[in-house]
Each structure stands twice: as structure tokens, then as C-alpha cells.
Amino acid sequence: MSRRKKGEAITGWVVVDKPVGPTSSDVVNRVRRLFNAQKAGHAGTLDPLATGILPVALGEATKTVPFVIDATKAYRFTIRFGLATTTDDAEGEVARESARRPSNAEIEAAFPRFRGQIQQIPPAFSAIKVDGERAYARARAGEAVELAARPVTIHEIALVSRPDEDHADLEISCSKGTYVRSLARDLALALGTVGHVSALRRTRHGPFGEDAAIPLDKLCALGHIAPAPGLGTHLLPLETALDDIPALAVSGEDAARLRKGQGVLLRGRDAPILSGSVLATHRGDPVALTEYGKGELRPVRVFNLVS
């Protein structure tokens, strides 16, 4: 006899404005408890010192997490020039100093070499695995961690403000896998100095932006009001994460086939316009994420939504 899952079958996305301090896992656990959801996950880690957009998936929405992980992200961050740290952010110990401070013109002149696809070496203090162990665990143990460069894409990079000669505020949009700490480190080196990230905020993650986010403390406050109907207003539909994927309404019979893991042949005008990933729906409700090919919808992720 299977064990009954704890919690309720809550499905949707909650866009949390993460504060400084908690880990991404801490935030996910708080949101899951607030909604009393059976399962939860997030779509991209934010370091404890970072703030901003952390999309949390509940229930069947966790099946759409890979689509959000692959999405473009946007960040606003501050480089502190003149000090390199062991972690490439303000949490680490000072490892190197430099008296040089670049001008605004020099900073902007360096941007072209960081736009587009670049090769980036992740920070030693990162979650990347080295021989089965997290790099940060090896680094904390005093080991010299050498990580291979990997391709990432910086779509846009701009200088926003210069509070003083030691600091520069920048904004970027980038691909998955981009480490802002590495970008700050490498930009400072390209400018003939050293530097680290002293503040970092994610302002957008795929379809989720600051306009849809709620600060974690406000969400927790709503959860402490009994009853707590206000929580539901911050639960976005599962399909919010799939705004770039075409949707196709299917019949009840075809929906049943897809839910059983069976393919559905398309006929008529629908077939020619489809390509790749397709969200199959029935009466407005998500049925399955499918792949279209050779005239057939093949289910990849089936959604078991409770009516």
C-alpha cells in the first residue's frame, strides 16, 4: 500500500522576491509549508547574499521547471573595484588588492568583449561538481579548485551608475549557467584591476519579473492570517512558465490518450503550423507538454491536475 503524500495537491508558481540571508532551498521550504503543498522546487539558485526573483514551483508546476531554468535572466549588480575575494563576492576573504580604478569610459569600452557568447570560468566557490563533490566543499577545505571554462551568453550589459570610484552598478541579461561573480571578476581584470560583486539582484527570470513578485516576509505574513485567502492571489497558473510555447486545444478523447502516455495524430490545419514543444490543453486546462514531429504529438510531461 502506497504512503499518502503529506500536504495538498496545490499547483502553480509563486514568484518570491528573495531577501539577503536565506538560501534558495530555505525559501522553497517556507513557500511549500505556507501553501501546505505536497511538493515544491525552484527554477534557479540565488546565493544567500543575492536578492530578487526566485520562481518557486508547486505541485505539477515542478514539471515545467526545466523550461524556466533554460530561460534568459536579468541581473542588477555592483562591482567593488580594488579588492578580489576568495569567493568573488562580499562573503569571501580579501585575496588581492589593486589601487587602480577604471573610468566610466574604460568600463564601457570593455563591454564589447563580454557581449555575445563567451568562455567563462565559474567561481571556485560554486555548486559545480568535481569528481562527485561540490566545488565549494573542496574550496572550503583549502583545496585548489580548477574548473574548466564553459560557454555562456551575455545578451546585454550596461553601466547604470557610478556611486563612487570604488563601485559601479551594472545591468545584464544572460543565458543560463552565467555566473555574475565570474563576470565581475573578469571585467575587473580586463580593466587592469581586481574586483568582486558586492551586491546582486535578479530582476527577471524568463517570464517572471519584479511586477509579479512578492517579498518573502509579506508572503509569510499572509500565511499567518487564518484563513489565508491572500496566498492564493500570488499563485500563478502552471502555464505561466510556458509563455513561449505554442498551445493547442485537443479533444477529450485525445486528452485521455495523452494522459496515458500515448501519441496523438494531428490532421488538418493544426499540423503544419506546429514545431517542437507544444502545450496540449483541454477546455483551457493543461494536459501535457508534448513534442510534435511527423504529424504526431508525443507526450513528454503529463499533468495530473486535480479538478
CA distances from 296 to 111, 129, 148, 238, 260 (A): 45, 38, 40, 24, 15
CA-derived radius of gyration, the chain: 22
Residues 6+ apart with CB under 8 A from 141: none
* CA 230 – CA 233 distance, rounded (Å): 6
Based on the number of CB atoms within 10 Å of its own CB, is 257 exposed (0-12), middle (13-18) or buried (19 or more)? buried
DSSP letter assigned to residue 22: S
Catalytic site residue from 17, 47, 88, 254: 47
Check if 164 is active-site: no
Return the H-helix or E-strand segment holding 299. strand 296-302
Pairing of strands 276-282, 247-249: parallel
Scanning the chain, the segments in alpha helix (DSSP H) are 24-35, 65-69, 104-110, 135-140, 180-190, 216-223, 252-259, 270-273
Return the H-helix or E-strand segment holding 293. strand 285-293
The cell for 273 is 503550423
> Catalytic site residues?
47
